[in-house]
Amino acid sequence: MLPPGLPEDVADLAAWVGQLARYAAPQDLAEVLAGAEAAALTRFPEAEVLAVLRRVLSGG
């Protein structure tokens, strides 16, 4: 199942991914991030999605 709330604008993607990651249970984090990536790829180019994921995961 894809996470709800996928933003319309790529500028809002980092905040959405960050919120999903913050509220995920530790044992569910990998699955939540995979779902967020899959959902984001339905709307945004792969390069932008990967850049956002890297930025969020590095704490930036």
Indicate whether 35 pLDDT > 90.
yes
- Computed over every residue of the chain, the mean pLDDT equals 92
Tokens of 56: 């969020």
* pLDDT for residue 4: 79
pLDDT tens string 11-20 = 999 999 999 9
Whole-model pTM: value is 0.89
On whether the CB atoms of residues 13 and 7 are closer than 8 A, the answer is yes
- On whether the CB atoms of residues 40 and 6 are closer than 8 A, the answer is yes
Pick from 18, 29, 12: nearest CA to 56: 18
Q: Which of 1-5, 23-27, 49-53, 55-59 has the lowest mean pLDDT?
A: 1-5
Q: Dig out the tokens for 47 from the structure.
A: 């390069």
Check: CB of residue 2 under 8 Å from CB of residue 13. no
